[in-house]
Amino acid sequence: MPRRITYRDALREAMDEELARDPMVVIMGEEVAQYNGAYKVTQGLWDKWGDKRIVDTPISEAGFIGMGIGASMLGVRPVMELMFWSFYTVAWDQIVNNAAMVRYMSGGKINCPIVIRGPANGGTSVGATHSHTPENIMASFPGMKCVVPATAYDAKGLLKAAIRDNDPVMFMESTKLYGEEWDVPANDELPGGELVIPLGVADIKRSGTDISLIAHGRAVITCLQAAEILEAEHGISAEVVDVRSIRPLDEETILDSVSRTHRAIYVEEGRPFCGVGAQIAYTIQSKLFDELDAPVLRVTSLDAPAIYSPPLEALQLPTPELVIEKALSIC
């Protein structure tokens, strides 16, 4: 039987293995040590690795993100946990003006091998100030990488690659995925003895011939659900492309899929204005215009602050039904 573990456990395994592999890896953030993390992602790591490797920080994102960036410039590989990615705004100057720019501004002499990770999603009724999806913002700055895994398998493999990367990697998760289980092979079942997924490589989660549903993060799960219904009830074969890494972006896999299906919808939990889907829709239409049988469509959140009310917030986010409605309009 394949080994099934949760998204949360996959992230923990990745960090545990990298702590063992490289003595310069450290974990820092609010309540990551004795409390085992706000979402129990770091559970047991403090007991195993101690105060020098698993470091609790004050409630000051500007302070501890700045500290992590400075440490990374000296060769440490910090993995910083944000309790919510919404708090990136508190450390905006540190992330954007320092982490993203230091290699360029130093003429390539200083690297910044830091990972900033945590949940970036709505749908949990925690209000507008705790429900940001800033992957479009982070990906817009040259010098930073932005990764959004949709499954436990990808979460483990991508986090290990992110920790080893010499550039700052913004790693965005979903609280709604933490408890979900997927097949993740144990290391002794893998040819190379470990699971490492290169950044900048998309993945075809489901093959299809009639339309490409392209997405990142939890929206990939929404697309997979929509694809099943499209096949069963409408006879439409939908291919699901998981971008996985927004920057660097695997344009080749996306364009190859759309060149075969001739139709595309980008699905994301972010808002539509200046969204990730806007960039990818432009990329598709500018490079595959003659291959398209219909306009490239998008499914996003409603363009408004995250709604606190659970019934209303459920209407604000992308659903399989919305994806199906868009797909039927162009198939």
Residue 198 domain-assigned?
Answer: no
Residue 171 domain-assigned?
Answer: yes
Share of the chain above pLDDT 70, in %: 100
Q: Which domain range does residue 216 map to?
A: 203-330
Same domain, 159 and 227: no
The per-residue pLDDT of the chain, averaged, comes to: 96
- pLDDT category, 246, cuts 50, 70, 90? very high
Q: Is the pLDDT of residue 51 over 70?
A: yes
- For residue 199, the model assigns a pLDDT of 98
DSSP string, 283-317: HHHHHSGGG-SS--EEE---SSSPPSSHHHHHHHS
Same domain, 156 and 8: yes
Q: What is the pLDDT of residues 171-211, one digit of tens each?
A: 999 999 999 999 999 999 998 899 999 999 999 999 999 99
Please identify, among 137, 159, 189, the residue that sits at the C-terminal boundary of a domain. Answer: 189
Same domain, 171 and 227: no
Tell me how far apart the alpha carbons of residues 122 and 4 are, in angstroms, rounded to a whole number: 26
Residue 277 domain-assigned?
Answer: yes
Residue 17's CATH number: 3.40.50.970
Q: Is the pLDDT of residue 138 over 90?
A: yes
Q: Is the pLDDT of residue 20 over 80?
A: yes
Residue 161 domain-assigned?
Answer: yes
pTM value is 0.96
Tell me how far apart the alpha carbons of residues 158 and 196 are, in angstroms, rounded to a whole number: 6
Long-range pairs for 315-323: beta carbons < 8 A, 24 or more residues apart: 316/122, 317/122, 317/123, 317/269, 318/219, 318/222, 318/267, 318/268, 318/269, 319/222, 320/222, 320/225, 320/226, 320/229, 321/226, 323/213, 323/222, 323/223, 323/226, 323/265, 323/267, 323/299
Same domain, 284 and 178: no
Same domain, 178 and 217: no
Q: Is the pLDDT of residue 63 over 70?
A: yes
Residue 240 domain-assigned?
Answer: yes
Same domain, 139 and 101: yes
Same domain, 45 and 127: yes
Segment 295-302 mean pLDDT:
97
- pLDDT category, 258, cuts 50, 70, 90? very high
Same domain, 179 and 40: yes
Same domain, 210 and 184: no
- For residue 2, the model assigns a pLDDT of 76
Same domain, 180 and 219: no
Structural contact between residues 163 and 25, judged by C-beta atoms closer than 8 angstroms: yes
Question: How many structural domains comprise the chain?
Answer: 2
Structural contact between residues 217 and 149, judged by C-beta atoms closer than 8 angstroms: yes
Residue 196 domain-assigned?
Answer: no
Please identify, among 189, 217, 238, the residue that sits at the C-terminal boundary of a domain. Answer: 189
Segment 284-305 mean pLDDT:
97
Same domain, 103 and 227: no
Same domain, 30 and 131: yes
As annotated, the active-site residues are 61, 130
Residue 218 domain-assigned?
Answer: yes
- For residue 39, the model assigns a pLDDT of 95
Please identify, among 165, 189, 213, the residue that sits at the C-terminal boundary of a domain. Answer: 189
DSSP string, 217-268: TTHHHHHHHHHHHHHHHH---EEEEE--EEETT-HHHHHHHHHHHS-EEEE-
- For residue 192, the model assigns a pLDDT of 87
Residue 195 domain-assigned?
Answer: no
Q: Is the pLDDT of residue 1 over 90?
A: no
Helices (H), 119-250: 135-139, 152-164, 219-234
Q: Is the pLDDT of residue 292 over 80?
A: yes
